[in-house]
């Protein structure tokens, strides 16, 4: 059903959400970076497997090697994937000069590389959690190429 005023309201609402996150990022970029780096569910999965997530590219390779036991719980997959995307973004921010978090108008946080290229790391993380592809280390390698 096409209800124009409802579509306009939904679009306005999404833009406001994006504006709120964008404003938070502008006001306190380090605070937002710290918040995005928490990734509690992913860290718990890694800890159980004996991995320490130290915000390095090597930790992404180690995550790629985990047995994906979380796929047995379809409710956990999107949450873990979201965390994986934020963790991927955290590693990129910490290790690739000139990279930064940006917010699309719809509120989606993405990584903007120095070249201007934008990476939807959350989408990559969710895909990784669901199917194992792309590997987090592969996504990082592509980002580091520029």
Looking at residue 5, what is its pLDDT? 37
**Distance (Å, rounded) from C-alpha 106 to C-alpha 7?**
14
Looking at residue 7, what is its pLDDT? 44
**Distance (Å, rounded) from C-alpha 42 to C-alpha 49?**
11
Looking at residue 25, what is its pLDDT? 81
Looking at residue 29, what is its pLDDT? 79
- Mean pLDDT per 10-residue section of the chain, whose length is 146 residues: 42 53 82 90 94 96 92 93 97 97 93 97 96 95 90
**Distance (Å, rounded) from C-alpha 59 to C-alpha 37?**
13
Give the single-character DSSP code of 111: E
**Distance (Å, rounded) from C-alpha 36 to C-alpha 62?**
20
């Amino acid at each position: 059903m096409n209800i124009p005023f409802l579509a306009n309201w939904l679009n306005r609402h999404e833009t406001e959400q994006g504006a709120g996150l964008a404003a938070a990022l502008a006001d306190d970029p380090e605070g937002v970076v710290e918040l995005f780096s928490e990734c509690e569910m992913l860290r718990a999965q890694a800890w159980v497997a004996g991995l320490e997530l130290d915000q390095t590219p090597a930790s992404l390779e180690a995550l790629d090697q985990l047995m994906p036991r979380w796929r047995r719980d379809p409710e956990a997959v999107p949450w873990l994937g979201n965390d994986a995307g934020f963790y991927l973004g955290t590693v990129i921010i910490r290790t690739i000069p000139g990279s930064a978090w940006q917010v699309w108008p719809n509120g989606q946080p993405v990584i903007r590389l120095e070249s201007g290229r934008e990476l939807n790391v959350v989408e990559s993380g969710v895909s990784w959690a669901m199917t194992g592809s792309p590997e987090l280390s592969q996504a990082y390698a592509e980002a580091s190429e520029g």
